[in-house]
Structure 1
Amino acid sequence: MKDFWKQVLNFCQQTTQEVSDRLMTDFGKIQAEQKEDGSLVTKADKWADRTIREAIQATFPSHGVLTEETTHVFPDTDWCWIVDPIDGTTNFTRGVPVWGISLGLLYKGTPVFGFVYIPCLKQAFHGFWYGDSGLTGDTGAYLNNQPIFTSKDDPSPSHLFNLCARSLAILQKPFPCKIRMIGVASYNILLVAAGAAIGGVEATPKIWDIAAVWVIVQAAGGSFVNLDGAEIFPLKIGKNYGNSSFPSLVVSRQELISTFKPLASVITQSPYH
């Protein structure tokens, strides 16, 4: 498996670099259209989606692919890539330099490898998390190939906690940390993996928002909670995930779930849910 994981990592590094070089020429310069679910899409999203799909099919022809801009049905293959070609399209179109390219690799419906590249910041995150899959190989979470770990600190007014635009109802009660709003689901969670934030919440992420970072945050020592209660993975063969959202809480260590889950659960009662 070692050679396979090396191939996977090299593929992600090369592909996201090539795609980001083109995307940077459009960054902050093109207009977006609104999709049926209210999210935005640009011609750059569609180009990046197609380019990444074609690269996967050429390099890993037996692997399935599920992406934000094309097929949302989980395929009947042992291996499947889940791709978000531009996570943070609003930031991308407005010239805000925080947006990313996200690739998650699933084995039998569960993510085991994640890679996210943030081009403007030149930050490449990746991680391996095998769970009970029976797979072996490299382990850990990394930022620019250097190991990263979640914070072991207790919450305090000087620690950061990330919200999304649809999770502000959390602030109806006193909150134990400083709040930040990143505007990019993957980066929200990656900041927890890197130890910069102690936790984060996303109210309506789709499967392509979380597949890669689900791996990375756990590989770094954090915990990922679906606030709806059910397990997100493994995904079901033949199911269309286009309209499925997974309200998520991410914390730097398992012991903090009891602190933040009662506060975060309010987002499941919001009109966006």
Structure 2
Amino acid sequence: MPDDDGRTSVVPVLVLRKITQILRSFSIEQPELTLQQIIRTTGLPPSTCQRLVRNLVVEGFLDRDDDRYRIGLDFVQWAAPGTFGLDIVRLTRPALQALRDRTGETACLYVRHGPFRTVVSLAESRHPVIRLFVVGMVMPLHAGSAGKVLLAWDPTARQEAVRHGLGRFTEHTTVDIDELTGQLAAIRRAGYAASFEERDAGAASISAPVFGLSGELVAALGIGAPLQRLGPAEAGRWAPTVMELARDASRRIGFRAEMRAENLSASVADVRATATGD
């Protein structure tokens, strides 16, 4: 089809189709790929694929770490409209670093997109043995403390997770919807979530909600560590710190407690509605 100036738009459409093939080659099962893996998955000519991947890195759609690629932070931000309106990555950075410094463990900030959560910022532990996280890492909602925080305070998140399916990652993963619903109610009462080996064997985490200017949930802030350093006893010790710094992160992006109080009754009603039927 010709444009207003008479030029054809076929070539740009074909380029967009190839870019879409490249981006769709990444998944929750394979969040990081080499160039050769991208070429095999897309079926694109190697020279074409290499050129497009290089351009996607330059534009921030992909991030590169040595010989591996993953979805870029810029793309993650655009995929969650409204979440980054106040640049929460920049504004919450002091709270994130303070959480790492006070607990000694890797601290991460997560946002939700559909049935997944993504690490958008982190402060790495200085321990020689750590639980590995990278910016752009995509994980499920129902397995892990940060995902359950996003489920507990966002009425639409539970619907997305159930629609996508509650897959099992370890013997400790919650895959029963009634059990998950009970856990989410307990998390809202406690003000935080703790998980042990739900997504990865030998790993644990604690997370708490981060609220935005109007009292809406915008992110989850938490720590992740090997189970030998973050067992149930340590979780009870560090949970107040995680909640304190999640509140600090909320204040840094403009949250006011009175706004949350005004919206609480409506939010509770929505949560109860989604718990009783989708």
Same fold, TM-score > 0.5, yes or no? no
Higher relative contact order (CA 8 A, sep 6+): 1
Q: How high is the TM-score relative to the length of structure 1?
A: 0.29
Structure whose residues are more often strand by fraction: 1
- The structure carrying a bigger helix percent of its residues is 2
Bigger-Rg structure (1/2)? 2
